[in-house]
Amino acid sequence: MKIYKRLLKTPLKKRWFQVGLACLILTASAGVSYSQIVYTFKSSADTTPWIDAGQNVTVTSSFVAGDAPPGQVLSTGALGWTGTFDNAGRNFGGLRLSFPSVDLTGYTDFQFDVKVLNNSFDQWSQIQALQPTLGLTASGNWNQSSVQPQLVNVTTNNGWQHIIIPLTAFSSGSLSDVRQIFLLVDDGNYTSATTMQLAFDNIEFTGLGPVPAAATNSINATNATHTADAQVKPPTNVGSVTITVNSQPRQTFEGLGASCWGPEDYMQLAPERRAKLNDLVWREARFNTMRLWVHLKEYTPALGQHRFKDAFPDEGATLVRDAQAAGVRHIVLGPYEVPTYLLERLPNTVGKDGKEKPGAPHLKSDQFDEHAAIIADFIRDLRDKDHIAIEATGVQNEPNDVADCQFTPADMVRSVKLLRAALDSRGLQQVKIIVPETVGCDGT
């Protein structure tokens, strides 16, 4: 159920109000409500408040009748957007909506559904980046999201991809006075003039904070036409927790994720069970990160051999695209099982029991470059062959595990430097590196 929060001053019954282009549901119950601000599209009148904006890019927008994400009833169509991009610096365009001041304090996420129309991808079969931006205060200060998802070909959900961005990603200013939404499209990968077409729907801010019962809508709500069917109730019997945070930020918590193993098993599920699984994990549990695995010895069993589909079969690509359609925005790679030809064993050791133990497998001193090149080649093949972009990669899963390949701290530093160079030389500068992925906090 869609509900509207914060801009309330007197008790309200459960109703659906359409305010401009926004379909808003207001709820009050025992002094608490949980709520959303939702922009949906039912006619061309709903799309006209959105203003075309671009950097020397020819852009237009219109109502797309009959094309809305499956399984929802708030919209009868979508907000269509067209931009003409070329390879001469004209690579930035979008849409802008202005509205009265809204306090988003207490809201948690910015979400929207987006679809690429007419296969209008760039040369890498993707749209390089969507850059959601909020305009703050009357002066219109820009607060751009640090999360800028790529758009890929989605074979499920009738091509719709659901994007969830935590409001913590908008970190350059207070969200107590938000007055604009920008949906900016950035792509510098076109080799000639190309017309890109997108559709947007269910553009929304979601929140979990309670609202005082003494509330009223400060926006001029009109056209009260529908009655809400349900109401989200707050949890009961929840104890209090006190968390003390230092004044200076250390890390940004981007969300939760899941490690995905065995795409062949996934494909054995019936389509409706796969859809339910994706809905439960990525939408309802709000996981936004997927970790993929690559068996390096399957990808490169011998020097000079690359067997991409042995390491990443078509079922793996389907699993990823289904997850992206359900809201996954971060793809992280976990390399493991180092090819045998790169390895040597360290000298045998004597355990505490006095028995000799075989030395752990270790990269040959002259094979660190090759190991880094294999990882970078796989990430490039994943992009070029299956159009899947890796956001971050490890060097070796559990590098203190004697069952695969051990890395000393000095080895890890050397590998990170070589992997960075290998990624950059293949045009993968945007791929980050995560290390050391050691198992066990005490290194045991």
**Residue extents of the structural domains in the chain:** 36-208, 257-433
3-class secondary-structure state, position 183: strand
3-class secondary-structure state, position 166: strand
Helix (H) or strand (E) holding 396: none
Q: Which amino acid is at 198?
A: L
Greatest extent of the chain over all pairs of C-alpha atoms, in Å: 83
Q: Examine the pLDDT at 303 and tell me if it is beyond 70.
A: yes
Give the pLDDT of residue 440. Answer: 63
Minimum mean pLDDT range among 119-133, 245-259, 425-439: 245-259
Give the pLDDT of residue 291. Answer: 94
pTM for the whole thing? 0.52
Taking residues 323-349, what's their average pLDDT?
Answer: 89
Of the pLDDT bands very low, low, confident and very high (cuts 50, 70, 90), residue 46 is confident
The CA distance from 207 to 203, in Å, is: 14
Whether 162 contacts 283, CB under 8 Å: yes
Give the tokens for residue 51.
């203003």
Residues 6+ apart with CB under 8 A from 304: none
Q: Examine the pLDDT at 186 and tell me if it is beyond 70.
A: yes
Residues 6+ apart with CB under 8 A from 55: 90, 91, 92, 93
Q: Which amino acid is at 409?
A: P
Give the pLDDT of residue 75. Answer: 83
Strands 51-54 and 92-102: antiparallel
40-76 as b/e: b if 16+ CB within 10 A: bbbeeebbeebebbbeebebebebbeebbbeeeebbe
Domain at 36-208: CATH code: 2.60.120.260
Burial (CB count <10 Å: 0-12, 13-18, 19+), residue 399:
buried
Whether 434 contacts 372, CB under 8 Å: no
The fold for domain 257-433 equals TIM Barrel (3.20.20)
DSSP label at residue 281: I
Taking residues 427-431, what's their average pLDDT?
Answer: 91
Q: Do domains 36-208 and 257-433 have the same CATH topology?
A: no
Give the tokens for residue 204.
């929304």
Of the pLDDT bands very low, low, confident and very high (cuts 50, 70, 90), residue 238 is low
The CA distance from 412 to 402, in Å, is: 15
Minimum mean pLDDT range among 32-41, 93-102, 227-236, 381-390: 227-236
Angle at 56 between CA 54 and CA 61, to 5 degrees: 40
Give the pLDDT of residue 335. Answer: 95
Phi, psi of 422 (to 5 degrees): -65, -40
